Amino acid sequence: MTLILNNREITKILSMDECIDALTDAYLDFVSGVAVTRRRSDTLVPSGESIYGLKTMDGIAPSLGVGAVRINSDIVTWPKVGDSYRRVKVPAAPGSRYTGLILVFSTETGEPLAIMPDGVVQRMRVGATSALGTRYLARTNSRTAAIIGSGWQAGSQLLGLLTVRPEVEVVRVFSPNPENVGRFCSDWSQQFNQNFCAVDSLVEAVQGADIVLCATSSIDSLFEVGHFEAGMHVGSIKPPEISRQALQLADSVCVHVGHGKPLLTQADDLIVPDHSGGRGWEISDEFDFAACPTLPELISGAVKGRVSAQERTCFVNDLGLGLQFAVVAGITMRLALSAGVGQDLPTEIFTQLEHP
Amino acid sequence: MTLILNNREITKILSMDECIDALTDAYLDFVSGVAVTRRRSDTLVPSGESIYGLKTMDGIAPSLGVGAVRINSDIVTWPKVGDSYRRVKVPAAPGSRYTGLILVFSTETGEPLAIMPDGVVQRMRVGATSALGTRYLARTNSRTAAIIGSGWQAGSQLLGLLTVRPEVEVVRVFSPNPENVGRFCSDWSQQFNQNFCAVDSLVEAVQGADIVLCATSSIDSLFEVGHFEAGMHVGSIKPPEISRQALQLADSVCVHVGHGKPLLTQADDLIVPDHSGGRGWEISDEFDFAACPTLPELISGAVKGRVSAQERTCFVNDLGLGLQFAVVAGITMRLALSAGVGQDLPTEIFTQLEHP
């Protein structure tokens, strides 16, 4: 049988600490050449006034016995907000839904073991990845943190933070939308029985913080060199959030994988307002991310993490990996099977007698 | 609803001439930069004594309003047959089945429109592709043809041949296994009400033939320079079948896409007996396939097809395209919908409310 899961079920069974542990093992396997991953590709054509994008990435986690393909089939628009364009995915599928899938296959039999949406898994792996950056780069005696952003990704950053640095006592949250920040703080405070305070400015959030985690949809830098205090760790879910000057001031900048651009194939007549190849932001050539150590190297000990209390450190999530999906969807499947969660579809639907 | 098809249903509704027509349109769109395709990738790890391979390719055919991802999740072994290794896929999924899937998405809504196995579609697109090579390169007054091979791919080559050159009267079939050839000829003779003759040697098959189509699992060359007569067209479903010397003798060699190697990612401890990166054959550096014109260029008129009756021509299918799957699976879906064939699954299974 092929296990079919939905996001509600995945939310119930998937925990941040399990994500972090499983990714840690997978990054070690990646460094030793056991686990493999195919770089993300974006294939784009115009679709009316919008863009149709088919985004795929593959990875194999042999220790879990699974390979996975993550597929996003997106309708993307580019509304102008203020002076800049914003990248907005349109839930154009029936029922105002998005199309993002993970297919999990067995490395022993090849069969499709599970099919699940990517919404929860993708946030959990981003949160877990940033948390690993925090684990190796933030001071162990961190007590105060700032979260910049108040959306889904921000929640996952908070969850990851409190998993690797449970000693953190104060979390200040800022985003330009006060209503969102209020709701974010009240939702998460309730969940953790801990007080997360909404603040009115970015400066107020970051001043004196040991850890700053940016999780915004901004395509411009927001964490500037003037914010960067000695001993601070700054995390970012995408390269533009931390300014070039702030990156240059850092004693150590670690990236996720070190080849921050997807393989792009696009129709000749495609027009992307911000010229960023469909992602909404570009990796600036002004800072050499390719020369930075990567998270797998950090975890394996091939490069050092934080070495002094005064260091300024950064972790930048430059590009996702198919391997992350193999790992997080792989453990999600295992958890679902042992909890008896999900539906079954006959595997015959997705296999064949004919030699392909 | 998402349409679920099986190979039996696809066999009933998909015709070779529709495949050829749809691919012709798609190649024209490809040349003009409208249709796009992401190069195939192979991601490989050891799996016990075998290899586990996750092979994916994506393509978008805007004129059909679809994008597609083709996924193969294969267990591959390398038994030694005689002096050479043969690449054999193992049907290791439950019920001794193979895992090869095509997911078809809407470029308007992003939703998954259809999911189908790739077995029939993949052969039909190979047959149709070779047939297009034959259409542009073989003499229009061809009457005699040879098919080398007697498996599934050989059948699809025959089907394609008779679609673009219905004037062909004599087809001689050779493969090293007389029993297979006999069955092949009797099966197809019945279907076409035309006599296809099994012959005892490759020479007997090709001598005096106007068109020779190789469709074998051989990883060594089999069509040699001595076989290559003036005016002959030779097609091949993969580069090694035609010897380097024969290719060099040709007046014109056309390839499918002109970048014959997949993107390969593999585990460090992977051992592939034939050092071909998991495909069973290598593209030799001894002949410069990259300098050859491509099928889309041929179809668009950017390069000339056959210009004289005496020319020796070759068509070599160097690498498949995700675009082929978008096109052939796209028309298969349309045909199935209008014929009321297939099952429905709720699209909600494969979509989500959460922003991915």
- A36-92 residue pLDDT tens: 999 999 999 999 989 999 999 999 999 999 999 999 999 998 777 777 667 789 999
The residue among B7, B263, B355 with the most chain A CBs within 10 A of its CB, best to mutate, is: B355
pLDDT at res. A326:
98
Average pLDDT over residues B324-335: 98
Q: Is B145 helix (H, G, I), strand (E, B) or coil?
A: strand
Picking from A34, A115, A353, the nearest residue to B267 by CB comes out as A34
> Which two tokens mark A274?
């911000």
Of B93, B108, B352, the CB nearest to A117: B352
Closest CA to B317 of B185, B153, B197, B166: B153
Q: Can you give the residue ranges of every domain in chain A?
A: 2-121+321-347, 122-316
Give SS3 for B16: helix
pLDDT the model gives residue B247: 96
For residue range B73-99, list pLDDT tens digits in order.
Answer: 999 987 777 766 677 899 999 999 999
- Across the interface, do B355 and A98 touch by the CB < 8 Å criterion? yes
Closest chain B residue by Cα to residue A103: B71
Token readout for B131 is: 């047939």
The β-bridge relationship of strands B66-77 and B88-90 is antiparallel
Kindly determine whether residue B353 and residue A91, on different chains, have CB atoms separated by under 8 Å.
yes
In terms of CA atoms, which chain B residue is nearest residue A43? B38
For B176, residues 6+ apart whose C-beta sits below 8 A from its C-beta are none
Query: What is the pLDDT at residue B278?
Result: 52
Is the pLDDT at A138 greater than 70? The verdict is: yes
Fold category of A2-121+321-347 in CATH? ornithine cyclodeaminase, domain 1 (3.30.1780)
Instruction: Assign domain B122-316 to its CATH architecture.
Output: 3-Layer(aba) Sandwich (3.40)
Alpha carbon B81 to chain centroid, angstroms: 24
Measuring CA to CA, which residue among A214, A216, A160 is closest to residue A192? A160
Q: Out of B44, B56, B322, name the one closest to residue A69 (CB).
A: B56
Mutate to test the interface with A, among B72, B77, B350 (most CBs of A within 10 A): B350
What chain A residue is nearest to B110 in terms of C-alpha separation? A73
Chain A residue numbers with beta carbons less than 8 Å from the beta carbon of B36 are 43-45, 265-267
Q: What pLDDT sits at residue B45?
A: 96
CB atoms closer than 10 angstroms to residue A121: 27
Quick check: B99 and A105 CB within 8 A? yes
Topology of domain B2-121+321-349, per CATH?
ornithine cyclodeaminase, domain 1 (3.30.1780)
CA of B71: which chain A residue's CA is closest? A69
The count of CB pairs under 8 A between chains A and B is 287
CA distance between the termini of chain B: 21
Average pLDDT over residues A131-149: 97
CB contact under 8 A, B105 and A54: yes
pLDDT at B276 over 60: no
The label of the residue with tokens 């996702």 reads A320
**What does DSSP assign to residue A199?**
-
Q: What pLDDT does A278 receive? A: 52
Handedness of CA B270, B79, A351, B70 (dihedral sign): positive
**What is the C-alpha separation between B246 and B337, in angstroms, rounded?**
45
DSSP one-letter code for A294: B
Residues of B in contact with A34 (CB under 8 A): 45, 267-269
C-alpha gyration radius of chain A: 20
Residues of B in contact with A120 (CB under 8 A): 354
| pLDDT value of residue B282 | 60
* CA distance to partner chain B, nearest, from residue A69 (Å): 8
The pLDDT tens digits of the residues spanning B108-143 come to 999 999 999 999 999 999 999 999 999 999 999 999
* pLDDT of A259 strictly over 80: no
Res A307: pLDDT = 94
β-pair type (B50-61, B88-90): unpaired
For residue B354, which residues of chain A lie inside 8 Å, CB to CB?
A: 7, 98, 117, 119-120, 152
Locate the chain A residue with the closest alpha carbon to B122.
A356
pLDDT of residue B302: 95
Among B45, B69, B108, whose Cβ lies nearest the Cβ of A54? B69
Q: Which residues contact A274 (CB under 8 A, 6 or more apart)?
A: A78, A84, A85, A87, A219, A280, A281, A282
What whole-number distance in Å separates Cα of residue A319 and Cα of residue B146?
50
- A268 to B37: CB separation less than 8 angstroms, yes or no: no
Query: One-letter amino acid identity for A128?
Result: A
For residue A341, the one-letter residue type is V
Q: Which helix (H) or strand (E) holds A297?
A: helix A295-300
Tell me, what's the pLDDT at B281?
54
DSSP designation for B33: T
Q: Which residues of B touch A266 (CB under 8 A)?
A: 36
Strands B263-266, B252-255: pairing kind = unpaired
Helix residue ranges, H only, chain B: 7-13, 16-31, 119-137, 152-164, 178-192, 202-206, 244-249, 295-300, 322-339
- Fold match, B2-121+321-349 / B122-316: no
Name the more confident of B260 and B321.
Answer: B321
